[in-house]
Amino acid sequence: MTIASAKVGLRSGRMRPAVQNRFLATDATSTLGGISPTEKVIAFCRVLLALATMAIMIVDPKAPLWPVVAYPLVGSYVVVSIVLFLLVRSEIVRGRKVGPYSVLLDMVYGVLITLFTERGATPFFLLNLFVIASVSVRWGFKASAPITIFLAGLYPVLVFIASRWLEPDFFSVQRAHFFRPIYLVALGYLVGYLGEHERRSKQKLGVMLELTTAIRPGRAPGWALTHIMRRILRHYDAPRGIVVLRDPESRRFFTWDMDRVGGRLKLGLRISKNDPYPFPFASSTEAFLCNTAAPRGPSALCYDVVSGATQRKAVTADAHLPASSGDQTLLVVPILIQRDLRGRAMILRRRRPKFAREDVEFLLLVVGQAAAALEAARLQAKAEEVAVLEERARIARDLHDGFIQSLAGIDLRAEACLKMLDKDPSRVAGELAELQQTVERGYHEVRHYLSVLRNSSREAHDLRATLEQVAAEFSIRERLRVALEVSSSEPELAPSTAYELTQIVREALRNAVRHGGAKEATVKLAAYGAHCSLVIRDNGRGFSAPSAAVGADGTVQASSVPWSIRERTAALGGTLRVRSRAGHGVEVHVVVPASAPEPESANRRRIA
């Protein structure tokens, strides 16, 4: 059932013909602009070729035909090669124009040099193979094959024309003039095949490099998927690609359908509750190839990405194959996150050329890396969201422990002043003085808290010094005598952990004064192996919870413990025990891991 459907047409401009695209893209990895390393290598090899040709002509005992033309011609080729090398090396010329023009230059010089060195040791194969090799490295076998045929056919034609117009006695057509092109075609095929392999390898590397720039934190996943699929379709020379992703939270399926129609690139997005393209015949870890227009019913060649097993299966009737025009081959790979099927990536193209196993493996590699990067980006966004919620909860705890309780005290004293106006007006002045002191303490607490928020270290680099400062504050402000006991082996805690423990001490001491009327308290901090123990004990009236919340041994139920102390202990991954007896005060015992993680990090792991 489709709940939302939208078709978006992306105008990509008038698409150039395939041949023009192939000859303008000089290097699969030259996506950053400038001159690619391939062009620099070819320019340097051209200089070596020109120098070698000059050396062959000088060493050859037979003088070339028309020396007054041959030597200046080769010399000019050497000069042009050096100039072109310097231009390419300094990146003065544009990379997209270097390839086509330099190939044309090499072909012209190759034809002329071969023609005027026909009498001696001709560099026919050397010059022509260089042209074929440079074309195959730049644009692959589809470009080098016609260039090879053209050069092989041009050679005997030029010899025939020269025999008629230049030197009929010298340029007589011989058997070698027909066998040389045959050898050139054979060598050109081998060189072109190797160049195609090199070009495809660099193209794959370019696709993998673009993954790092396409998927970034804060960038929309749809844009990243569209960019990656556009690159993959270009790599496979396919007209259509489909990506189906299942959102692990909403359980809905997002389908991106990219199609090249009439020079335009169309992108469709559909959101549905059910999988729009179910393939029940294939397991969750299987990729498969399928001919969508098989005469005897479609069958799929399945490849298990885990075991590597290959098996041909019949496509069942309940499978929903993408609609295709004509005889096309469908390549489908699963999108797995820790072997959990999150969707599939599909590519449709003409049956020729056929998909090979390396095509399946490369698409699996790209999809796997992209899926892992998208999942990492999703988890990072979720972690940042949880971190914001945790920070808000921490601020809420801090406000509850300090500012809100100060406001509550001010409210009680103001109410007492109103009652004293009728019963005992002489005591109002004293109450107002205490009220003013309470407001002043609250004011200082708020300023202190704001300074803590501005301090990234959260005042927790030295826990002993911080606890001594807290003890001094309560001694002066609340007249509470606090004894601090810290073991000789003071635990090494993360700044956030030390900060939370300090706030637990503040809350426990504040409750001891305001609710228990304590005059003395003891704070003990010790390390036991991989754990840190914190004990706060006072001599107040004890816990004011109902009798049902306090056990026979004095243990207070967790639900009756102050909220902020419970939350801070849970955020640190620790344990909390509170004991209380009437007239004997309260003991708060907190145990946390000595290497406790950041509270936000702990929550990130629980949510993820």
- Nearest Cα neighbor of 60 from 121, 4, 16, 104 is 121
Give the span between the Cα atoms of 92 and 97, in whole angstroms: 11
pLDDT value at residue 536: 94
Give the span between the Cα atoms of 527 and 533, in whole angstroms: 6
In the predicted structure, residue 125 carries a pLDDT above the cut 90: no
Rounded to an integer, the average pLDDT of 379-406 is 74
In the predicted structure, residue 607 carries a pLDDT above the cut 50: no
Q: Which amino acid belongs to residue 196?
A: E
pLDDT digits (tens, 9 = 90+) for 439-494: 877 777 777 667 766 664 444 457 888 888 888 888 887 789 999 998 877 777 88
- In order of their start, the domains of the chain are 31-210 (no CATH), 217-355 (no CATH), 377-454 (1.20.5), 460-608 (3.30.565.10)
Give the span between the Cα atoms of 587 and 602, in whole angstroms: 27
- Nearest Cα neighbor of 213 from 370, 95, 96 is 370
pLDDT value at residue 57: 81
In the predicted structure, residue 212 carries a pLDDT above the cut 80: no
- Nearest Cα neighbor of 500 from 415, 393, 341, 577 is 393
Arithmetic mean of pLDDT over the chain: 78
pLDDT value at residue 210: 77
Among 10-24, 235-249, 562-576, whose mean pLDDT is lowest? 10-24
pLDDT value at residue 170: 59
Residue with tokens 């490295």: 137
- Nearest Cα neighbor of 236 from 80, 141, 350, 160 is 350
Rounded to an integer, the average pLDDT of 559-575 is 85
3-state secondary structure of 236: helix
Give the span between the Cα atoms of 114 and 124, in whole angstroms: 6
pLDDT value at residue 296: 56
Q: Which amino acid belongs to residue 422?
A: D
In the predicted structure, residue 538 carries a pLDDT above the cut 90: yes
pLDDT value at residue 238: 86
Neighbouring residues of 537: CB distance < 8 A, sequence distance ≥ 6: 521, 522, 524, 585, 586, 587, 588
Q: How confident is the model at residue 260 (pLDDT cuts 50, 70, 90)?
A: confident
Rounded to an integer, the average pLDDT of 523-531 is 87
pLDDT value at residue 587: 92
Give the span between the Cα atoms of 166 and 575, in whole angstroms: 102
Rounded to an integer, the average pLDDT of 42-49 is 91
Among 116-130, 187-201, 300-314, whose mean pLDDT is lowest? 116-130
C-beta separation of 319 from 280 below 8 A: yes
How many angstroms separate the most distant Cα atoms in the chain? 140
Give the span between the Cα atoms of 535 and 524, in whole angstroms: 5
Q: What are the phi and psi torsion angles at 90 (to 5°)?
A: -85, -5
pLDDT digits (tens, 9 = 90+) for 126-141: 888 999 998 988 888 8
Give the span between the Cα atoms of 192 and 141, in whole angstroms: 5
- 438: tokens are 């309470």
**In this structure, what DSSP letter does residue 402 have?**
I
Per the model's pLDDT, the better-predicted residue between 538 and 198 turns out to be: 538
C-beta separation of 289 from 315 below 8 A: no
